[in-house]
Amino acid sequence: MSLDHYVTLGRSGLRVSPFALGAMTFGDDPGSVGCGVEESEKILSTYLDLGGNFVDTANFYTNGHSEKILGDYFAARPGQREHVVLASKFFFNMFPGDPNGGGAGRTSIIAQLDESLRRLRTDHLDLYWLHNWDRNTPIEETLRTLDDLVRAGKIRYIGFSNTPAWVTAQAQTTALLKSWTPLIALQVEYSLLARTVEGELAPLALDQGLALVPWGPLKNGFLSGKYRRGAQVADSARTAFIGSPDEDQFTVIDAVAAIADELGTTSAAVSLAWLRARKGTVVPIVGARRVEHLQDNLAALELALTPDHLRTLDEVSAPTLDYPAPMHGAGRAMLQFAGATVDGEPSTVYQALLASDVRY
C-alpha cells in the first residue's frame, strides 16, 4: 500500500490518503517544538510527491504560523491546492481578553473560519473540525452554524475532536433529524499507549460510520523507537517538554520494539500498522519535524502485522476502561446467551457460573 491508495473518509464521498500529514509542527514560533518554514515545506512536498492528499492543521498551531506556511506554499504553486484535502480546526481563542474570540458559538466560528481562510489563502476548507467541546454553547447552535457554512460553500465536511461520546452522539442525531450536515469523522487521541477511546468513542464511530483520525499515534514519540530503557534520548528539549515514559509504558514500548526487530522495521512502523488494523476506517495523523521522521512513519504502509503480532500488542497494551465497559465483556455473554453461541460468541461457561458464588 502507498499514500495514493485512498480510503473513503467515513460515510461521505471524500477520498483521503491512508495517513494524514499533521502540520502542528509547522512553524518555529517561540515556545513551540516545531520546525522552520524551509523544513516544513520539504516535509509537505515529500508527502504530496508520494501521493498524499490529506493535510491537517488548526488555527492555534504555532499561533497561526502553521496555517500561514500552508497558505504560502499552495499560493506559490497554482493549481495544487485544488487536489488537496485541507483540514483545519476552530475553538482555541487567539485574542486574549475577548470572550468571543474562541469557542463554538456562531459569532466565534464564523470569525475563526474567516481568519483561517485568510492565513491559508483559500476560499474554502475541505474539512472543518471542532477542536474541543464548548460546554457553554448549545450544540444546536454549533451544528446550525456549520451547516450554514457548508451551504455557503466555505467548508465541505465537518468533524469533532476531543469531544465526549454523549455530546458527539447527541450532535450526530440532531444533525440527522434536522437534515443538517452530519459528522463524517472524529479526531481522537489513539495509540498503543492511549486506548481509552475504545470505551465509548470508537464504538460510536463504528456504529455511525464515522472515520477515526488518530492524533498522537506515537504518543509524543514514545513509540517511535528512540525511547529505550536506560538510554538517553538525544532530543533533550522535547523530553523536557513531554517527560519520559513510565514503567507501564515501557512494557508496551519493549513489546513493540521486539516485533520491530523481528520484522526488520521500526517501532514507529509497527505502532502505526497496529492502528491501521483496527476496526472501521482509521486514518492516523503523522507529524514530523524532519523529512526523515516522515519517511520512517510512512514505512508502516508496507507493513502487515500477523494475527499473532496483533494479539501480542492488544494484550500488552490492554486499557482499563471506565464503567460500564467492564460489564460488557465475557460476563455479558454468559448471562445474556445462557449457554448458547450467538454471532460466533460462545457462553459455554454459563452453567459453571450458575454453580459458583459469582453474581452480578
Same domain, 303 and 360: no
Same domain, 226 and 269: yes
What type of residue is 46? T
Residue 171 burial by Cβ neighbours in a 10 Å radius (0-12, 13-18, 19+):
buried
Q: Which residue has the higher pLDDT, 353 or 43?
A: 43
Same domain, 43 and 149: yes
Same domain, 347 and 220: no
Range of the domain at 132: 7-318
Q: pLDDT tens across 17-53, in order?
A: 999 999 999 998 766 678 999 999 999 999 999 999 9
Work out the pLDDT band at 356, boundaries 50, 70, 90.
low
Mean pLDDT of 139-168: 98
Same domain, 346 and 289: no
Task: Answer yes or no: is 2 within a domain.
Answer: no
Count the domains in the chain.
Answer: 2
Residue 352: is its pLDDT beyond 60?
no
Same domain, 155 and 212: yes
Confidence (pLDDT) at 86: 98
257 near 223, Cβ under 8 Å?
A: no
Task: Answer yes or no: is 323 within a domain.
Answer: no
Q: What count of Cα atoms within 13 Å lies in the side-chain half-sphere of residue 34?
A: 26
Distance CA 90, CA 103 (A): 7
Least confident of 177-181, 309-313, 350-354: 350-354
Q: pLDDT tens across 190-246, in order?
A: 999 999 999 999 999 999 999 999 999 999 999 999 988 867 676 544 555 568 899
Residue 130: is its pLDDT beyond 70?
yes
Chain Cα centroid distance, residue 176: 23
Same domain, 45 and 182: yes
Q: Which of 135, 178, 156, 177 is nearest to 9 (CA)?
A: 156
Least confident of 19-33, 175-189, 266-280, 335-349: 335-349
Task: Answer yes or no: is 194 within a domain.
Answer: yes
Distance CA 19, CA 358 (A): 46
Confidence (pLDDT) at 345: 76
Task: Answer yes or no: is 107 within a domain.
Answer: yes
71 contacts: CB under 8 Å, gap ≥ 6: 119, 120, 121, 122
Full DSSP string of 63-98:
GGHHHHHHHHHHHTSTTSGGGSEEEEEE----STT-
Work out the pLDDT band at 344, boundaries 50, 70, 90.
confident
Query: Which residue among the candidates 61, 128, 157, 227 is catalytic per the annotation?
Result: 61
Mean pLDDT of 179-188: 98
Mean pLDDT of the chain: 92
Mean pLDDT of 343-348: 74
Q: Which of 121, 39, 32 is nearest to 80 (CA)?
A: 121
Confidence (pLDDT) at 29: 75
Chain Cα centroid distance, residue 103: 20
Confidence (pLDDT) at 235: 58
- Output the domain CATH number for residue 186: 3.20.20.100
Active site residue 61: yes
Same domain, 126 and 223: yes
Q: At what angle do helices 267-276 and 291-298 cross, to 10 degrees?
A: 50
Q: pLDDT tens across 80-127, in order?
A: 999 999 999 999 999 999 999 999 999 999 999 999 999 999 999 999
Task: Answer yes or no: is 18 within a domain.
Answer: yes
Confidence (pLDDT) at 237: 47
Confidence (pLDDT) at 360: 46
Confidence (pLDDT) at 244: 87
